[in-house]
Amino acid sequence: MRTLCLLVLLFGGLLVAETARAQNRDPLAVAEQSGLRAYHSGRYEEAVTYFARALEIAEARYGPEDPGLARALNNLAEAYRLTARYEEAEKLHLRALALDERRLALEPDAMATTLNNLALLYRAQGRLEEAAGLFSRALALLEKALGPGHPNVAKTLNNMAVLELARGRPDRALLRIRRALAIAREVLPPDHPSLVVFERNLERIRGELARRRLAEAGERPETVATTDAPAVPVAREMPRRGPPGPPAPRPERVAAPAEALARAAAAAPAAGAPYAVHLASVSSSTAARSGAERLQRQYPELAGLPVRPPERVEIAGKGTFYRIAYGYFADPERARRLCAKLRRRGAYCDVTRPRE
C-alpha cells in the first residue's frame, strides 16, 4: 500500500555505483530507484529524466489505463513541480487522480497522496484556495481509511498548516500544527524526523503570530524563524511486479553545498546593490551558516544567490540573533518579487538592507 510521507532529509547519491547491479534488475525498478535518489538529493532535472523513463516503461508494460500507473505519474509530476514545469505537472496529477478514482475503495490513501501532491503544486502556483480544498479532501480520506491518529494524518495537517500560513492565517495554522504534533507525539518516537519538522513549524508559526502582534503595536517586527522549510511529500514508488532486486546501498553525498555556500558568501557585494532577502534569524552564526545551506537546498529560487555574512542583531527581551539573508540587489523590486514567490511556497521572506 502506498503511503504519504514527508521529505525531511536530503540525500545525495552516485548512480554509477548501481551499474553492475542494475544489469540484473528490472529496468522499471532501476529507473524508479535512480529517480528517487536524484529526487532526494535535490537533482530534480535528473529525476525528471529517470521518472519519465519509468513512466514510459510502465505504460508499455501495463497499458496507459492501468491504475498502478498513478504512482509513476505522481513521481514525474513531483519532479516537474520542483523544476517549475507546472502545466506538465498538473496534467500528470489529474491523470493520476482519474486512475486513483477507479480503485478508491481499495486504496483511498493512494488518492489522498495524489490530492496532497496536487495541492502542493497549486500552492507553488499561488492557487491557495484550490490547494486548501484538495488538502481537505486528502485529510478526510486518510482519517476514514487510517483513523484520526495515524502519522499520515499528522503529515497532512502539517502541510495544511503551512498553507494556512501562506494564506496569511497563522491562527488557523496554529490549530493545524498543534493537532499534527498531538498525533505525532502519541505515535512517533521523540527523535523521529517528522516530529522534528512539526516542532520547527510550530515555532515558525508562533514567530509569525508574535511578529503580527508587534506590528499591530507599532513596533518593528523581527521574525525568529526556523531554518528548516516546511516538509513536502516524497514521490511515490511504483509497486514492483515480480521478484524485487537487491536493496540499494545508502547513497553518498555527491555535492559539497557548504563549500559552495562559503564561496558565495565570500563574493564581494556589487556596488550600489544594498538590498537582500531575509529568510530567517537564528541564535548563532554557526546555525546561520548551516541554516543557509538547508534553505538553499530547499528553495531552488535561491540557487546562484550569494549568502550574506550572518548579520548580528539585538532584539529587546529576546537576545542576540543572526540573520540569514541572500543576494545583493540594486533594485528592491526584484528582491520583493523573489520574496513573493518564496512566501507562496510557505517561506518567511522580507527585503532588508543589512548593515555592511
pLDDT tens digits, residue range 129-173? 999 999 999 999 999 988 999 989 999 999 999 999 888 899 999
Q: Where do you find CATH 1.25.40.10 in the chain?
A: 6-233
SS3 279: strand
CATH 3.30.70.1070 in the chain: give the residue spans: 257-352
Looking at the chain, the number of H-run helices and the number of E-run strands are: 13, 6
Question: Checking DSSP bridges between strand 311-315 and strand 6-7, what pairing results, if any?
Answer: unpaired
Q: Which pLDDT belongs to residue 272?
A: 59
- Encode pLDDT of 63-79 as tens digits: 999 988 999 999 999 99
User: 3-state DSSP call for residue 12?
Assistant: coil
Predicted pLDDT at 159 = 93
Three-class SS of residue 343?
A: helix
End-to-end Cα separation, the chain, in angstroms: 54
pLDDT at 240 over 50: no
Q: Which helix (H) or strand (E) holds 342?
A: helix 332-344
- Of the two residues 232 and 356, the one the predictor is more confident about is 356
Whole-angstrom Cα distance, residue 239 to residue 1?
A: 8
Q: Does residue 345 sit in helix, strand or coil?
A: coil
pLDDT at residue 331 greater than cutoff 90: no
CATH fold of 6-233 reads 1.25.40
**Residue among 311, 302, 307 nearest 338 (CA):** 302
Q: Among candidates 145, 91, 151, which has minimal Cα distance to 118?
A: 91
Identify whether the C-beta of residue 4 lies closer than 8 Å to the C-beta of residue 78. no
- From CA 79, how far away is CA 318, in angstroms rounded? 40
Please name the helix (run of DSSP H) or strand (run of DSSP E) that holds residue 322, with its range, or none. Answer: strand 319-329
Mean pLDDT throughout 172-177?
A: 94
Q: Please state, in angstroms and as integers, the Cα–Cα distance from residue 338 to each residue in 109, 285, 334, following that order.
A: 35, 24, 6
Q: How much is the mean pLDDT over the chain?
A: 76
The fourth-level CATH superfamily of domain 257-352 is: Sporulation related repeat (3.30.70.1070)
pTM score, whole prediction = 0.58
Residue 10, all three cell numbers = 536530503
With bands split at pLDDT 50, 70 and 90, how would you rate the model's confidence at 215?
A: confident
Q: What percent of the chain has pLDDT over 90?
A: 30
Tell me how many degrees the CA angle 207-210-216 measures, rounded to the nearest 5.
145
47: nearest Cα among 22, 70, 13, 86: 13
